[in-house]
Amino acid sequence: MDKIFLSALTVECVVGIWEWERRVKQTVVIDLEMAADIRKAAATDRIEDTIDYKKVAKRILAFVGESQFHLVETLTERIAELVVTEFDVSWVKVRVNKRGAIRFSRDVGVEIERRREDYLPAS
């Protein structure tokens, strides 16, 4: 499987369960891997034949910047759903890091993997 990745997308958003966290934006760092068959794009050298990672990054940054979730878990799930459904990606790995959330720890966060089937309408 080929993968396209984005590392360390940094954005400020409202995320947290404590009252003070709801009043200020905090920095989250997002890492993303997306399944992609890049053979056609490699042969044609055309952006239309691959995942446009600039569009993905801009969409994620806009979405997260406007979001207000209580849990990093919810934020991570919504990012995965957005990438799979809006960019027709068959598999995605999303890691959201809320730096400084725990004293004496540099990084705290959530990492998930999702497939297209995870977001199909229930029959």
Domain limits, the chain: 2-119
pLDDT tens, position by position, 24-83:
999 999 999 999 999 999 999 999 999 999 999 999 999 999 999 999 999 999 999 999
Angle between helices 72-87 and 53-66 (to 10 degrees): 140
Please determine, for residue 21, whether its predicted confidence score (pLDDT) is greater than 90: no
Per annotation, catalytic residue among 3, 55, 93, 98? 98
Architecture in CATH for domain 2-119: 2-Layer Sandwich (3.30)
Residue 15: what pLDDT?
Answer: 94
Residue whose entry in the numeric block shows the structure tokens 């569009």:
55
Residue 40 annotated among the catalytic residues of the structure: no
**b/e per residue, 98-111, with b = 16+ CB within 10 A?**
beebeeeeeeebbe
Nearest to 31 by CA among 55, 11, 6: 6
